[in-house]
Structures are given as C-alpha cells and as structure tokens.
Structure 1
Amino acid sequence: LYRMQRSLTGLALTDAGGSQSFAEQWLAKRAQHVDICQQMFAELQAFETLDLAMLSAGMRELSNHMLA
C-alpha cells in the first residue's frame, strides 16, 4: 500500500508540472477514477471485518485506476 501511495504521489507531482494547485488539477483530471476508488473504499469500510481476499481485490482495483 505504501508503494502504491508513493507511486500515486509521484504521478500526481509529475503531471502537475510544479503547479501550486497540483492536487486539485490532478483530482479534477481523474475525477471518474477517483470517484470509483472512493466508492470502493466506502464499500470496504461498511464491512465489520475484512479478509485478505477483499483487501487484495481492493488493492488491485486501486492499481487499475491509479495508472489509468
């Protein structure tokens, strides 16, 4: 998860080109992917307990949308 977070941050910074409002620009550019990931996180949080398969599927989904 930390590796994905580092990669995602690197992508956002690279795409921003040094802009001060890079986060807003990056999020707006990828709004559809961000919405899908936020929905997935909300669904995972609704479960009382999570198993490895659920977490693994969530990581895969995040990875799919991160690189889109």
Structure 2
Amino acid sequence: MQITPLKHYKQIQPEERVTLASLHFQKFTVREIARTLGRSPSTITRELDRNSIGGHYASKSAQACTA
C-alpha cells in the first residue's frame, strides 16, 4: 500500500489578496500571479472566480467573507 502525502491548504492571506488584486489589475496572467504568490494557478483561478465583480477582483470584500 502506497501512502500519499497529505496536502495542507493554507488560506490566502490579506497581503496576498492585495497583491493578487494589484497584479490582476495590471493584467498579469493567472500563472504569473500564482508564481509570484507561490500558489497553484488553480487556487488563483478559484479565488478570482469567487471574488470578482464585473471582471474586477475585490480583495476587501473577499477578505470580509473569510472573517
């Protein structure tokens, strides 16, 4: 039997949300944002999908939803 390592999910921190918003506003790609933040591109995509309003990422309202 092979044991697979556990993956630990770490929520995106407020500082990361601000950076994500800035990079997204500057038209960085999801992969570029993920590389900068040291995150998976799928994590960035989910975050943008969940917390974008009219194509713009809302970091303040995203953070408010986690509290």
Higher helix share: 1
Q: What TM-score, normalized to structure 1?
A: 0.29
Q: What TM-score, normalized to structure 2?
A: 0.30
Higher strand share: 2
